[in-house]
Amino acid sequence: MKNFIIGDIHGHYSELKELLNLLNPNFKNDKLIFLGDYIDRGPQSYDVLQLLINLQEKHGDDKVVLLRGNHEQMAMENIKTGYIDYFNGYDITFRDFKINKDSIENYYELFNRLPLIYEDKSFICVHGGIRPGVKMEDQYPSDLLWIREEFYESSKNFIKPIIFGHTPTLHINGTDIPFMAKDRIGIDTGIAYGGKLTALEIIDGIIKNIYQTGKLAA
């Protein structure tokens, strides 16, 4: 079975379609795991969400795993407090939903049921990262969504490789290619900042390919 793990999308619908065409998953055997941050920054958050919702409804949440990112979390908080017009300052998302005669408020329950972590026998997927030295069952949700340097710069080892998004690789290794360490792999390759949208292909715990919009990276 192939596991395809996709980094932060941030409203980039065309690039998401391009990447899915590159991956060409066979859902009888393959699985898609999305690391969160589907909305904000890019121009088509609405279309991205509809595509992902349709994929999951068609193939099941065991074949299409949608994790929650910090931007979905912020959307939930803004909806709950009534500050939806400001929507984290990213009014492009608010306008996009309005153009499509829909409201981001209708997606609160969807965002609320998105898991924060996905664990396979050979790897762990999370949006932000893992707090070093803390047992998995004791991790704070805020760390899973928001942690940065304390995670990817830590000298501590993890029991399994952690595949994460959230922090653009531009801020880690200065490039739009994945950050690869022994037990940490960052695949937010900065689509929101002119970079690429990235996916890993993992079979039996081994990275077989790295796909990016515009090219096959490895």
* Cα 97 to Cα 11: distance, rounded to the nearest angstrom: 11
Closest listed residue to residue 19, CA positions, set 171, 125, 8: 8
Helices (H), 1-140: 13-23, 45-59, 70-81, 91-99, 108-112
Task: Say if residues 199 and 191 touch (Cβ distance below 8 Å).
Answer: no
- Do residues 127 and 166 touch, judged by C-beta distance below 8 A? yes
Q: What are phi and psi of 66, to 5 degrees?
A: -110, 110
Q: Counting every residue, how long is the chain?
A: 218
For residue 55 the two structure tokens come to 């994929």
Of 10, 12, 59, 71, catalytic:
71
Q: Quick one: which of 124, 105, 127 has its CA closest to 114?
A: 127
Would residue 127 show up in a list of annotated catalytic residues for this protein? no
Q: What residues are labeled active site?
A: 71
